């Protein structure tokens, strides 16, 4: 049965909204690049498994950055994959630096830009040095806001800088094109401490949300964040977004912070895979510490291999909260 949204839109608008052409083009490119292997089991099976992987969210693994950021679904899928692959870091209570989190991101996307990781870390660290340690949950929720709303935040940074300098912030802000990330304006120490008037900032962001062609947080939730303070700084605003329960729920990529370290489906799958490796289960049982990640992850380069399909289904989108909890007690 067709959804009300599908019935209300013409075919071409619905296909454009779901970025079907993006996935068709990518499928054809992979088909041509791997035609010798695909010819062994047929084109029809390839397309079936490709679009199954898109639905399951596993199609972004080990892909280039231009692809993982190409659609909102790809961004959500990458966020969920990063959480599921590396939640053990938080489960063990490990604290990592920005560069170490960047190495983890590169395991899933070899050309993931360092600048995006730095911006996410700045939300957590604010005025602290960039080599300070961060918990997994703090970085993950900040990274979610920065990665998913990247173009929107670039425009917000420009508006914030205009307000600080006394310029008219109601001029049209042109977002950066896909694949390019503009450097945020350097903010002086005084301006970082003083911030801008929240009510005026809210008016500017309402106008921005109305005309922004990229994804942006629900305007009602942005207004809710800004209504609780009289003045705020740019990074204070981003931190508030990253901790907001409703925004995390609207994105649907990550669970509630209290459930961040729990993924029964993934645990069951890992146990099944470990049981298939001769001698591994016994060695793990004899040495429990072998299952723990070290407190430092050495820099590695992710594999450039581009999977054609994945058989395991990823859980559906869940809602959640970002209330503070102590990960080390999980």
**% pLDDT > 90, the chain:** 52
Lookup result for tokens 């960039």: 130
β-pairing verdict for 95-96 and 134-135: antiparallel
Q: For residue 120, what pLDDT is reported?
A: 96
User: What is the rounded distance in angstroms from the CA atom of residue 248 to the CA atom of residue 254?
Assistant: 7
- Which residues in 280-299 are b (16+ Cβ under 10 Å) and which e? eeeeeeeeeeeeeeeeebee
Q: Is 285 in contact with 28 (CB distance < 8 Å)?
A: no
Q: For residue 279, what pLDDT is reported?
A: 63
- CA angle 214–218–219, rounded 5-degree value: 100
Q: For residue 82, what pLDDT is reported?
A: 96
Q: For residue 317, what pLDDT is reported?
A: 41
User: What is the rounded distance in angstroms from the CA atom of residue 137 to the CA atom of residue 88?
Assistant: 11
What average pLDDT does this structure show over 264-292? Answer: 60
User: What is the rounded distance in angstroms from the CA atom of residue 255 to the CA atom of residue 261?
Assistant: 9
Q: For residue 75, what pLDDT is reported?
A: 97
Give whole-number Cα distances, 247 to 220, 235, 239, in Å: 10, 16, 12
CA 59 to chain centre: 15
Q: Is 223 in contact with 217 (CB distance < 8 Å)?
A: no
The model carries a pTM of 0.74
User: What is the rounded distance in angstroms from the CA atom of residue 163 to the CA atom of residue 161?
Assistant: 5
Give whole-number Cα distances, 257 to 82, 221, 326, in Å: 15, 19, 10
What average pLDDT does this structure show over 105-112? Answer: 97
Find all residues with CB under 8 Å of 70, minimum gap 6, and list them: 19, 22, 178
Q: In this structure, what token pair is assigned to residue 175? A: 């977002």
Q: For residue 234, what pLDDT is reported?
A: 94
Q: For residue 102, what pLDDT is reported?
A: 97
- CA angle 249–74–99, rounded 5-degree value: 85
The residues facing 231 across adjacent strands are 197
Q: In this structure, what token pair is assigned to residue 111? A: 């050309």
3-state helix, strand, coil in the chain (%, to 5): 60, 0, 40
Q: For residue 191, what pLDDT is reported?
A: 46
Q: For residue 184, what pLDDT is reported?
A: 52
Q: Is 60 in contact with 74 (CB distance < 8 Å)?
A: yes
Confidence band (pLDDT; 50, 70, 90) for 118? very high
Give whole-number Cα distances, 151 to 84, 128, 325, in Å: 25, 24, 30
Mean pLDDT lowest for which of 17-26, 122-131, 157-166, 233-242? 122-131
Higher pLDDT, 295 or 152: 152
Confidence band (pLDDT; 50, 70, 90) for 271? confident
């Amino acid at each position: 049965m067709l959804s009300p949204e599908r019935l209300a839109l013409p075919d071409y608008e619905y296909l454009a909204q779901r970025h079907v052409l993006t996935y068709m083009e990518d499928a054809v490119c992979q088909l041509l690049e791997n035609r010798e292997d695909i010819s062994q089991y047929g084109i029809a099976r390839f397309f079936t498994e490709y679009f199954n992987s898109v639905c399951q969210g596993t199609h972004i693994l080990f892909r280039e950055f231009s692809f993982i950021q190409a659609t909102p679904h790809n961004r959500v899928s990458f966020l969920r994959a990063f959480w599921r692959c590396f939640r053990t870091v938080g489960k063990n209570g490990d604290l990592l630096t920005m560069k170490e989190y960047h190495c983890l991101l590169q395991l899933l996307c070899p050309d993931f830009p360092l600048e995006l990781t730095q911006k996410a870390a700045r939300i957590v660290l604010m005025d602290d040095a960039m080599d300070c340690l961060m918990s997994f949950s703090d970085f993950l929720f900040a990274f979610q806001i920065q990665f998913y709303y990247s173009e929107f935040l670039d425009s917000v940074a420009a508006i914030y800088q205009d307000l600080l300098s006394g310029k008219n912030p109601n001029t049209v802000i042109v977002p950066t094109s896909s694949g390019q990330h503009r450097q945020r304006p350097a903010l002086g120490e005084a301006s970082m401490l003083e911030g801008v008037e929240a009510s005026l900032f809210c008016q500017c962001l309402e106008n921005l949300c109305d005309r922004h062609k990229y994804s942006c947080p629900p305007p009602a939730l942005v207004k809710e964040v800004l209504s609780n303070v009289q003045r705020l700084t740019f990074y204070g605003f981003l931190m508030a977004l990253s901790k907001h329960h409703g925004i995390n729920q609207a994105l649907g990529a990550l669970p509630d912070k209290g459930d961040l370290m729990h993924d029964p489906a993934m645990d069951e799958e890992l146990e099944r895979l470990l049981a298939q490796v001769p001698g591994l289960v016994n060695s793990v049982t004899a040495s429990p510490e072998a299952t723990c990640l070290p407190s430092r992850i050495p820099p590695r380069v992710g594999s450039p291999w581009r999977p054609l399909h994945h058989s395991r289904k990823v859980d559906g989108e869940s809602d959640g909260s970002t209330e503070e909890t102590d990960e080390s007690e999980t």
